[in-house]
Structure 1
Amino acid sequence: MSASQPAFLDLEGVSRRFGDRVVLSDVTLAIPPGRITCLLGESGCGKSTLLRIISGVDRPDGGRIRMSGAEIVGPDRFVQPESRRIGFMFQDYALFPHLSVAENLAFGLRHLPKAAQRDRVAEVVARIGIAHLIDRYPHSLSGGEQQRVALARALAPQPAILLMDEPFSNLDQGLRERVRRETLATLRRIGTTAIIVTHDPQEALAVGDLIVLMRGGRIEQVGTPFEIYDRPASPYAAEFMGPCNRLTGIFSRGRIETPIGTFPADLDLPDGALALACIRPQALSIGPDGHGISARVMAKTFMGESEQIDIMVHPLAETLRMHSHVRIPMAVGEKVSLQLNGAEIHVFADDGLGANGRGTNPRETID
């Protein structure tokens, strides 16, 4: 968000606890207008709680929220959900099974005269492209059709902001990508300010104009997809956005020395301090033995469009993992030479978690 562009939604010091468990801790965030913001994080990090607090379904224990400059949540103020002009699209769509599509769309318009309801339903039906579904009932719709109807129902009252909680998670992979693409095209065409919750970093990279990575009830990093992937602020951010090989090294004169090479390190550390290199699998490549760092192929896994290869390098205790989009002729057990692409190497002060040849990925622990 540029300095000249005011935030549409301002969160300041928002906190929430359930009993002794702190779910949100001092969350401060600016949501830009007319853009899609993704709240990203593993299960239990507080992203869905934050969405409920924004909508008014839940109250924070502390902090303020301003919408277009007007306070809607504060120590002495709480605007009721129905007065916030905020739309909410649930993960399971929550369509009323006993109502037709037209009746579902009109449900949130009951404050309008009948003629105005019909006009507004017709407008949103045309905009979303679901005229052929208007007389059908939810049970007769496919997952993709239900998702489009749920989107239309959320947009029918003309909300100032749309909140979406894991909106594509119930769809099969192929359908998910198509519906996601159609939904994003609709939101961007009409200039909707939207906040989408997801636990999938690849989805966040594909969807968000702005990504808010959360961890343990706090904000870990905020940035555009390119910023958060190319310039992660912490080892956690680097590993959450994609697999990494972790290597501990020694910091000296603006560089980190590791068993497989020395890399630039823009760190405020004394010489001799431990530092950490997070190396993307795509940063590694191999060639015939004798043209780089001596290594050995330990395993190969064919993944369709790419191949995953585990490589052992002395004196590392565990293998390094690389991805290749070209076929690697070297067989398991064969000696090779390892080469590195420094553009995919992120360097941090050591976080004390130790180094393993193949870095852990926080996504592997998500339910």
Structure 2
Amino acid sequence: MPTAPASSLELRGVSRRFGGREVLSDISLTIPPGRITCLLGESGCGKSTLLRIVSGVDRPDNGTILMNGAPIVGPGHFVEPEQRRIGFMFQDYALFPHLSVAENLAFGLRHLSRPDQGRRLAEVVDRIGLGHLTGRYPHSLSGGEQQRVALARALAPQPAVLLMDEPFSNLDQGLRERVRRETLAILRKIGTSAIIVTHDPQEALAVGDLVVLMRAGRIEQAGTPFEIYDRPASPYAAEFMGPCNRLTGIWSQGRIETPIGTFPAALDLPDGALALACIRPQALSIGPDGHGISARVVAKTFMGESEQIDILVHPLAETLRMHSHVRIPMSIGEKVSLQLNGAQIHVFADDNRRIDTILPGPE
């Protein structure tokens, strides 16, 4: 299957309202060509609505969308979905049950002549490895096979941009990871620009070249997986991308003072102001009592690859959670010493504004 020219998308001030409720508010975003962009967020944040607007299934109330610099949506301008060269792969795959795999794949090629249809069909079947499935019907396929057929059908017309709404959510965990790897390999080999909607932060980090975290119809943060995990723009972003221990502290002379340590950061706060430290569970470790901050083990949960341990540190009202990939011999109720192992701490003003990211080193 020949590689389709990759296309960039630019969204400028896109907004959408339903019944007086603003579902999307002033979304501005550039989708890089030939890359995979993940729209990430909890249910109802607007990510699927944004996908429908890009595809042309829905229209924004305000804003402009450009493909390779040319408007496809804007004031007085609307390019019909079938003319956008944008493919859409649905969450439930939406395969036609009465059509064979070959007929499903050919459905989007009706604009081509019979010989061209045959050539394109052969190309996509060979590229995605569906030769043994072409005569079968959707009901006889496994979940992974249905997903591959749906992907092939979306790619057959050679879209410049492929939209995928929760494409792996219907698969079991083990199968999901394998199918995801296969799908990514195909998309990267072809070089198609893709936008994938997901609610799973781990999936977004594993899949996306660009991760766009959405919250209540707005973009909370956009960046590479490393940027959005290592340098979250807000407490919400920090906690959405992975569990955090939240500690409120006092800002004094260039440091946040917390019950488990005092840490420097480049903040613009007056002395005495409240600040917030978000500490990931893997940043904490424990050892025998007497070699750090006194604490007590209150719960342990074995998770296979790691162990989750809840510890109580005086005078904190809530426990701190840590993750360890080595076996911890301490028992529940045992006194231990809390230590910080050098992973990042994210520091914010207490008004939820991002302040800084620091490397911990209790002082």
Q: TM-score range by the shorter chain?
A: over 0.9
Pairwise mapping of residues 71-220 of structure 1 onto structure 2 (< 5 A)? 71-220=71-220
SS of 1:133's equivalent in the other structure is: coil
Alignment correspondent of 2:357: none
Alignment correspondent of 1:283: 283
Equivalenced residues, count = 348
Deviations 1:216-261 (A, max 9, x none): 0000001100000001010000000000000000112221110110
Alignment correspondent of 1:335: 335
Pairwise mapping of residues 18-57 of structure 1 onto structure 2 (< 5 A)? 18-57=18-57
Contact preservation (8 Å) 2:235, 2:352 = no
Pairwise mapping of residues 245-260 of structure 1 onto structure 2 (< 5 A)? 245-260=245-260
1:11 aligns with 2:11: yes
Q: Distance in 1 between matches of 2:94 and 2:55?
A: 16
How far is the alpha carbon of 1:264 from its aligned partner?
2.1
Alignment correspondent of 1:230: 230
Task: Report the residue type matching 2:101 in the other structure.
Answer: V
Q: Distance in 1 between matches of 2:30 and 2:319?
A: 41
Contact preservation (8 Å) 1:235, 1:351 = no
Q: Distance in 2 between matches of 1:239 and 1:117?
A: 49
How far is the alpha carbon of 1:352 from its aligned partner?
6.6
Q: Distance in 2 between matches of 1:325 and 1:342?
A: 16
Q: Distance in 2 between matches of 1:228 and 1:26?
A: 21
Deviations 1:282-333 (A, max 9, x none): 0000000000000000000111110000000000001000000000000000
Please, which moves more after superposition, 226-235 or 336-345?
336-345
Contact preservation (8 Å) 1:93, 1:150 = yes
How far is the alpha carbon of 1:267 from its aligned partner?
2.0
How far is the alpha carbon of 1:20 from its aligned partner?
1.8
Contact preservation (8 Å) 1:256, 1:265 = yes
SS of 2:132's equivalent in the other structure is: helix
How far is the alpha carbon of 1:7 from its aligned partner?
7.8
Please, which moves more after superposition, 206-215 or 263-272?
263-272
Change (3 A) 1:220 1:152: same
Deviations 1:37-92 (A, max 9, x none): 00000000000000000000000000000000100000110100000000000000
Q: Distance in 2 between matches of 1:131 and 1:60?
A: 41
Contact preservation (8 Å) 1:7, 1:30 = no
5+ residue gaps, structure 2:
1-5, 354-363
Please, which moves more after superposition, 186-195 or 267-276?
267-276
Change (3 A) 1:255 1:342: farther
Change (3 A) 1:79 1:318: same
5+ residue gaps, structure 1:
1-5, 354-367
Task: Report the residue type matching 2:56 in the other structure.
Answer: G
Alignment correspondent of 2:302: 302
1:58 aligns with 2:52: no
Task: Report the residue type matching 1:152 in the other structure.
Answer: A
TM-score, length-normalised on structure 1? 0.93
Task: Report the residue type matching 1:40 in the other structure.
Answer: L
Alignment correspondent of 1:244: 244
Alignment correspondent of 2:69: 69
Please, which moves more after superposition, 252-261 or 33-42?
252-261
How far is the alpha carbon of 1:342 from its aligned partner?
4.1
SS of 1:44's equivalent in the other structure is: coil
Q: Distance in 2 between matches of 1:52 and 1:136?
A: 30
Task: Report the residue type matching 2:277 in the other structure.
Answer: A
Contact preservation (8 Å) 1:263, 1:342 = no
Contact preservation (8 Å) 1:16, 1:22 = yes
TM-score, length-normalised on structure 2? 0.94
Q: Distance in 2 between matches of 1:126 and 1:48?
A: 31
Q: Distance in 2 between matches of 1:82 and 1:113?
A: 18
Quote the sequence identity (%). Answer: 86
Change (3 A) 1:148 1:352: closer
Q: Distance in 1 between matches of 2:337 and 2:7?
A: 51
Q: Distance in 2 between matches of 1:273 and 1:345?
A: 18
Contact preservation (8 Å) 2:292, 2:339 = yes
SS of 1:187's equivalent in the other structure is: helix
Task: Report the residue type matching 2:278 in the other structure.
Answer: C
SS of 1:54's equivalent in the other structure is: helix
SS of 1:132's equivalent in the other structure is: coil
Deviations 1:134-182 (A, max 9, x none): 1100000000000000000000000000000000000000000000000
Task: Report the residue type matching 1:210 in the other structure.
Answer: L
How far is the alpha carbon of 1:343 from its aligned partner?
2.6
Alignment correspondent of 1:264: 264
RMSD of aligned Cα (Å): 1.2
1:274 aligns with 2:264: no
